[in-house]
Amino acid sequence: MQLKNYLTWRILLVTFLCLLVFTAIAIAQAIRDIRLEGQGARQLQLLTASVYRLQSIPAPEVPGALARIGELAQSKDLRHVQFELRGADGSVVLRSTPTYSGDLARRVGEWLARLNQRVVIEEDSVSWTLARTDGMQWQVSLRPNLISEQEEAAENLMGLLAMLLALSIALVAGTTLAIQRALRPISQILAMLTQMGRRNYAARIAPSPILEIRAVEQAINQLAQSLAELEASRKMLSIKVLSVQEEERSHLARELHDELGQKLTIIRLNAGYLAKTSGLDKESRYALSDIADATASIQQEVRDLLGRLRPDGPGHKLDVEEFARLVRLLVDGWRHAPGRQQQFTLDLRPGIGQLGDGILLALYRMTQEALTNIARHASANHVSVSIVREPDSIVWTVRDDGCGIDHVPNALRNGNGLVGMRERVWSLGGTFEIDESAQGMGLLARIPLHPLQTETPPHQEPLVCTAA
C-alpha cells in the first residue's frame, strides 16, 4: 500500500469513528432535550389546571391551592414561560423568578441576548381574570421566559463547541497516531543505520506494509548484506596480510638467527682467539679486541631485532605465561631505555586458560606499536598499559598524557601504526576506539573471546601482574 493511500484510509477511518461517536452523543442530547420539553409542557399543564381549580374549590382549600401553584411556578421543569398571579387589588400573589443554572450559562446567555436584542414587551404577555362565586378574583399573566430560552441556547452552543473541540482533538490524535504508525519503520531504519555505522551488519529490518518505506528497507538490507560480505572479505584479507607479515618476520628472524648469528659468533670467537695468540704486537691485539667488542654489540642488536621480529622466538607459539613475560620485558625495555623520562604503569591481567596465538601476538604487536608511536611523537610524561581479561573479551588499553594527534582521520589515512592496530583488532572481530576527550590520547580495543579460546586447564593459578 502506498503511503498516501495508507494515511488516507487511516484518516477516513478515524473520521468515521469520531462521527459515529458524536452522532451517538448528539442523539442522546436530542433525546434529553425532548424529555425536558415534555417535562416543561407537563409542568405548564399542571400549572394551568391548578390555576383554573381556584374557581371551583371550596374557600378553605384556596391557601393550599395557592401554595401548590407557587411550587409549580418555581419548579425548574417549567420552561419558556414566566407565570404571575395578582390579587384583585393588583398586588403580586405569586410570581416565577427564572434564573440561570450556572455562571457560565448566564454569561453565554446574556451574550446571546445582546446579539439577539430581543426583549419582552406587553404584547407578548397573555393575561386573564379568574373570578369565584364568593367574590374572590385574580389576574393571571403568562409571558415568554427569555432566560430559559437563552440558557437552552447557551447549553446547545457550548455542547456543540465541546463536540467540535473533542472531534478536532480526536481527529488530530488519530491522524498523529496514523502518521506515527506509518512512519514507525523510520526509527527502525535509523537504528539500522546506527548499527551499520558501528560496523554491525548482521541486523535486518522487517518489511513494512508501506510500499515506499519497504523499498527503502530492502535497499538498506541489501546494502547491509553487501557491506557484511565486503567486511568478511576485508577481514579475511587482513588476516592473510597479517599472517604473511608474521611469516615474513619469522622467516627473517630465522635467517638472522641461523646465518648472521652463527657468523657473528665465529667472528667473535676467532677475534678472541687471535687476541690471545702470542707473537702479535700490542696494536694488533687492541684491534682484535675492538673487533670482538663490536661483534658482541652487533650480536646484542641482532638479538634485540629478533625480539622485535618474533618475540616468542622463531618456530615457537605464545601461551599466556610467555605472553605476560614478553609484555613485561617490552614495557621494562622502554622504561629503562637511555634518555627516557616517562613513567610507565602496567596492568596485566590476561587471566587463566588458553588464548589463541593470534590474539596474544596481536596484543603484543599492538602494545609494541603503541609504545613506539608514543616514544616518537607523543612527548608524554606518563604512559599506562592495561590488558585485562573479562568473561567474554580481552580489553586492551594504552593511554598517555602527551600532545595527542591533531586530526585522527588524517592519521588513519596517512599513517600505518594506527591503521595496523585497527586492522589487527578488526581481523579478530573486535572493536577499536581512539579517545581524544582528555589530555593526550587513549587507545581502546575489545577483542571477543570464543568458547574454544576460554577453556581453563585444570590446576592452574591465575596470572595477575600489576607493575608500576
Greater confidence, 245 or 206?
206
Q: Which of 51, 104, 42 is nearest to 79 (CA)?
A: 42
Contacts (Cβ under 8 Å, ≥6 apart) of 113: 146, 150
If pLDDT is split at 50, 70 and 90, which confidence band does 353 have?
Answer: low
User: How confident is the model at residue 385, as a pLDDT?
Assistant: 92
What percentage of the chain carries pLDDT values higher than 70? 79
User: Using an 8 Å Cβ cutoff, are 306 and 256 in contact?
Assistant: yes
- Locate 137 and state its grid cell: 378574583
Q: How confident is the model over 24-40, as pLDDT tens digits? A: 888 888 888 888 888 88
* pLDDT greater at residue 323 or residue 354: 323
Residue 397 binned pLDDT confidence (cut-offs 50, 70, 90): very high
Question: Residue 309: pLDDT above 80?
Answer: no
**pLDDT for the residue numbered 112:** 67
Measure Cα distances from 227 to 29, 190, 237, 275 in Å.
64, 17, 15, 68
pLDDT (average), residues 405-416: 64
> Mean pLDDT in the chain?
76
Q: Report the range of poorest mean pLDDT among 125-129, 379-383, 440-444.
A: 125-129
Characterize the bridge pairing of strands 137-144 and 343-349.
unpaired
Cell of 94: 405569586
What pLDDT does residue 221 have?
A: 85
d(CA 359, CA 318): 10
CATH 3.30.565.10 domain range(s) in the chain: 317-468
Q: What is the CATH number of domain 317-468?
A: 3.30.565.10
Adjacent-strand bridge partners of 433: 444
Name the residue with higher pLDDT: 286 or 352: 286
> What's the pLDDT score for residue 159?
79
What is the Cα–Cα distance from 220 to 196, expressed in whole angstroms?
10
* Listed ranges 50-54, 193-197, 272-276, 344-348; the one with the highest mean pLDDT: 344-348
The CA distance from 68 to 321, in Å, is: 111
CB 306 within 8 A of CB 257: yes
CA distances from 28 to 24, 65, 105, 157 (A): 6, 37, 20, 16
Using pLDDT thresholds of 50, 70 and 90, give the confidence band for residue 465. Answer: very low
| Alpha helical stretches, state H, 256-355 | 261-276, 282-309, 320-335
Residue 300 has pLDDT above 70, yes or no: yes
- Of 15-24, 118-127, 189-198, the range with the lowest mean pLDDT is 118-127
Least confident window among 49-58, 86-95, 280-289: 280-289
